[in-house]
Amino acid sequence: MVEAVCVSIGIEIITMFFALILSLVSFRAYRRSGKRRLLLVSFGFLLYFLKEIVLWAWALIFPGFEFLDVISAILEFAMIATFFVAIATKEGKSVESQME
């Protein structure tokens, strides 16, 4: 049981820092190309990293905090919305405005 918890924590930490690396790489690509989509993708990955930091910090500072799931859900919604906007936006114009 302890081994499974250690593996789970290890995977969470690796995933968290992988999201940070992807955020930095996509931000660097944004700076080179200037494409807003890459900035949104970078922000989405950064939100994931921040969500994990917030969850870990709150769990350590306030164990049993009742609204931790609500905070997590709000940040996850923001991430998904950011990725959707990045996908639905093409070169500064939304897909809907291109269909008109």
pTM score, two decimals? 0.77
Q: Where are the domains of the chain?
A: 2-92
pLDDT digits (tens, 9 = 90+) for 21-52: 999 999 999 999 989 999 999 999 999 999 99
Tokens of 80: 């998904």
Task: Report pLDDT for 95.
Answer: 44
**Around Cβ 3, how many Cβ atoms within 10 Å?**
7
Q: Is 94 a residue whose pLDDT tops 90?
A: no
The crossing angle, in degrees rounded to 10, of helices 36-61 and 2-33 is: 150
